[in-house]
């Protein structure tokens, strides 16, 4: 069946460094790829998204890249701050919505 | 952004009872609502998709007789966990998609934490 693989499961970086999270999807019908940030006990918050007709999108310190041929998409956070610490989920949406397993990001001050 | 509410935010019940969770889109019409379940330290798992006025589509492994979903209007969907057991304890989150935002964009409710004793 369709699935989304997300790596790494845990990521620890020093404040100011960059963080990269990668996802791979299998459903060719997926055409919308959002990234969510979830803090403990709270709802997922959309932080950036990209559509299948775009290769890259940037919003301040956050960027997302998409390689539709390889079915890869990645989240890049630059100049990380302690408040970026959370769990990040990628998702691939088309007819179905499939979430990645999540990446727990720790930003050390 | 669009606002989705969920009620209750937290519920504790005894084993064998039924629990109803409401998901409302407050400022837009939600033609489709999704119900997810999230166990601690795990990802969101899609349980079912409901379209207003029609029967919900359940994901493989989700019992439709145990998790009753009703999407009676463009602003309200309900999930009823029937005869709840401790293994049903989880964080249940709804999301809604409709005439707000971009195509495919979903707006999440705040979630309901269910604890079955």
pLDDT at B1: 66
Q: Give the closest residue to A102 by CA, choosing from A56, A51, A36.
A: A36
B104, B108, B113 member nearest A44 (Cβ): B108
Q: A34 at the B interface (CB within 8 A)?
A: yes
Residues A27 and A98: beta-carbon distance below 8 Å: yes
pLDDT digits (tens, 9 = 90+) for B22-79: 999 998 888 899 999 999 889 999 999 998 888 899 999 999 999 999 988 999 999 9
Q: What pLDDT, on a 0 to 100 scale, did the predictor assign at position B102?
A: 65
Percent over 90 (pLDDT), chain B = 72
Q: What is the distance between the alpha carbons of residues B92 and B45, in angstroms, rounded to a whole number?
A: 10
CA distances from B69 to B23, B36, B64, B65 (A): 11, 12, 8, 9
Q: What is the DSSP letter of A83?
A: G
What number is the average pLDDT over the span A1-27? Answer: 95
What tens digit of pLDDT does each residue of A62-108 get? Answer: 999 999 999 999 999 999 999 999 999 999 988 778 899 999 999 99
Closest to A65 (Cα-Cα) out of A10, A15, A24: A24
Start-to-end Cα distance in chain A: 41
Overall average pLDDT of the A53-70 stretch: 94
- The helix/strand/coil state of B86 is helix
Query: How high is the mean pLDDT of chain A?
Result: 94
Tokens found for residue A17: 């460094």
pLDDT digits (tens, 9 = 90+) for A38-48: 998 888 999 99
Paired tokens of B105: 């964009």
On chain B, the residues whose CB falls within 8 A of the CB of A43 are 93, 108-111
When comparing pLDDT for A11 and A31, which is higher? A11
Q: Which of B64, B71, B69, B115 lies closest to B91, judged by CA? A: B115
- Distance of alpha carbon A26 from alpha carbon B60, whole angstroms: 18
Q: What is the pLDDT of residue B103?
A: 66
The residue in chain B having the minimum alpha-carbon distance to the alpha carbon of residue A10 is B41
Q: Name the band, by pLDDT with cuts 50, 70 and 90, for residue B97.
A: confident
Checking if the pLDDT of A13 tops 80, the result is yes
Beta bridge partners, B67, equal B81
Question: Which one of A44, A49, A100 makes the best mutation probe of the B interface by having the most chain B beta carbons within 10 Å?
Answer: A44
Q: How far is A40 from B66, CA to CA, in rounded Å? A: 27
Tell me the CA distances in angstroms from A6 to A35, A72, A75, one per residue in order.
11, 10, 11
pLDDT classification of A18: cutoffs 50, 70, 90: very high
CA distance B6 to A84: 26
CB contact under 8 A, A102 and B42: yes
Task: Give the burial class of A98: count Cβ atoms within 10 A of its Cβ; 0-12 exposed, 13-18 middle, 19 or more buried.
Answer: buried
- The chain A residue lying nearest B47, using CA atoms, is A97
């Amino acid at each position: 069946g369709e699935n989304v693989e997300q790596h790494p499961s845990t990521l620890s970086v020093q404040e100011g460094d960059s963080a990269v999270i990668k996802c791979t999807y299998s459903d060719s019908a997926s055409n919308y790829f959002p990234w969510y940030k979830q803090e403990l006990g709270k709802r997922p918050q959309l932080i950036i998204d990209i559509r299948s007709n775009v290769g890259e999108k940037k919003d301040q310190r956050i960027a997302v890249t998409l390689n539709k041929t390889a079915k890869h998409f990645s989240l890049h956070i630059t100049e990380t701050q302690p408040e970026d610490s959370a769990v990040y989920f990628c998702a691939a949406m088309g007819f179905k919505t499939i979430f990645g397993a999540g990446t727990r990001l720790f930003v050390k001050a | 952004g669009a606002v989705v509410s969920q009620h209750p935010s937290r519920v504790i019940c005894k084993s064998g009872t039924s629990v109803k969770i409401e998901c409302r889109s407050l400022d837009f019409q939600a033609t489709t609502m999704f119900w997810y379940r999230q166990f601690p330290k795990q990802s969101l798992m899609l349980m079912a998709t409901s379209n207003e006025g029609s029967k919900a589509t359940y994901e493989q492994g989700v019992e439709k007789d145990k998790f009753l979903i009703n999407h009676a209007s463009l602003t309200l969907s309900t999930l009823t966990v029937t005869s709840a057991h401790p293994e049903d304890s989880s964080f249940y989150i709804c999301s809604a998609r409709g005439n707000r935002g971009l195509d495919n964009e979903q707006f999440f409710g705040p979630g309901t934490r269910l604890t079955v004793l």
